[in-house]
Amino acid sequence: MPAIASVMAALAILLAAGQAFATEYEVTSKSGIVYADHDGTKLVGDLYLPKGRAKAPVLVAIPGGGWQAGNSRFYWYWGLFLARNGYAVFAIDYRVGRAGAYPAAVYDAKAAVQFVRANAADFDIDPDRIGLIGASSGGHLAALTALAGDQYTSAYRDDANAAIPANVKAVVVFYGVFDMLAQWTHEQTMHPHDNLVEKFLGASPMQNRHIYFEASPISYTTVDHNQVRFLLIHGTDDDVVDPASQSGAFMTALGQAGFYVRRVVIPGAGHFWASDPFESEPRSYNALTVPRLLRFLESSL
């Protein structure tokens, strides 16, 4: 009986949240928008817009996939849902695998933010209300772009939007990677002969420890960056990205530096669920995040 009562209580909360954040906007979308050309690769994204909302806030959405895979369709469900609730979403492809090896993918993510700000008037979005959303390795890129985008300036200086600021107001991360050395260590116990962090960075910590510090969002949790707000979302049973050494440690570091940070912990959730459908699944992990995610966006973006 207590378990049934808990489920019923959770459903009641979701229903109440659904009424509080009622759908108000039709959605217009456009796919295959070129936002940059890096080393001969045309980088594209899909734009979801809340029809009729002037100067909508916007989230640049970065998919996960271990820096080896992933594409903009990851955010199909979130793009439609958030646009119906008044938030534009620009879901991007970026270079993955060898082509996206560090720091290439970081420059791609930064270019997407710059493109959105440069074209804000054309899309009727607010250039001062830009956020990032990412999952897993996409969460790593989102957090690193938000905290250290101004450090990545040596390449692609001829980009059309290279001079446009890449700062953002808020970041939402599902089960992200924030400490690359901790993730490398964790992966050594999972698949030591196929370490995704090492593939991405191009070296082991024994070969180049500095690059692990440089590529870790947690390294930039300092008081001079603390205007960015964070929402961290993860499950209790994630064996791919360890919650304690990643989201837990990152939240502590953010708090110590005076950041506004909130966390949503989903009991029983593992990895690989942020792209699942959820609007017709009130007990899904994504559905459980909706009320707090929308409240976070309302107050932070």
Q: Model's pTM, two decimal places? A: 0.92
Residue 191: per-residue pLDDT: 81
Please, what are the domains in the chain? 2-300 (3.40.50.1820)
Q: Which of 145, 108, 115, 129 is nearest to 58 (CA)?
A: 129
End-to-end CA distance of the chain: 40
For residue 23, the model assigns a pLDDT of 58
Q: What is the pLDDT along the chain (301 residues), one digit of tens a residue?
A: 344 344 334 444 444 444 444 558 999 999 999 999 999 999 999 999 999 999 999 999 999 999 999 999 999 999 999 999 999 999 999 999 999 999 999 999 999 999 999 999 999 999 999 999 999 999 999 999 999 999 999 999 999 999 999 999 999 999 999 999 999 999 998 888 899 999 999 999 999 999 999 999 999 999 999 999 999 999 999 999 999 999 999 999 999 999 999 999 999 999 999 999 999 999 999 999 999 999 999 999 9
Q: What is the pLDDT of residue 22?
A: 58
Distance CA 146, CA 232 (A): 14
